[in-house]
Amino acid sequence: MSEITNASLTTDIVLFAESGGLRHVLLIRRGWAPYAGHWALPVAMSTTGSGSSPPPAAS
């Protein structure tokens, strides 16, 4: 059995709101590759091992 040296755990979050009879969903515009500039669901990311750091939180 091989040893895992780099593992990632992610959780996508879907946040709905209703205002004035309209339904809304929270999206972010990605600022990192891949798909930089595209809309996406917010994500929480945790890494272990020697991989790269997760992207910074949206401000």
- Can you give the pLDDT of all 59 residues of the chain as single tens digits? 677 777 777 888 899 999 999 999 999 999 989 899 999 998 887 766 555 555 565 44
How many Å apart are CA 17 and CA 48, to the nearest integer? 34
**Would you report the helix, strand and coil content of the chain in percent, each value rounded to 5?**
0, 45, 55
Is the distance from CB of 48 to CB of 57 less than 8 angstroms? no
User: What pLDDT score was predicted for residue 56?
Assistant: 60
Name 51's Cβ contacts closer than 8 Å, sequence gap at least 6: 6, 8
User: What pLDDT score was predicted for residue 18?
Assistant: 96
User: What pLDDT score was predicted for residue 52?
Assistant: 54
User: What pLDDT score was predicted for residue 59?
Assistant: 46
Q: What is the largest CA-CA distance in the chain?
A: 56
Question: Which tokens sit at 21?
Answer: 């009879």
User: What pLDDT score was predicted for residue 54?
Assistant: 53
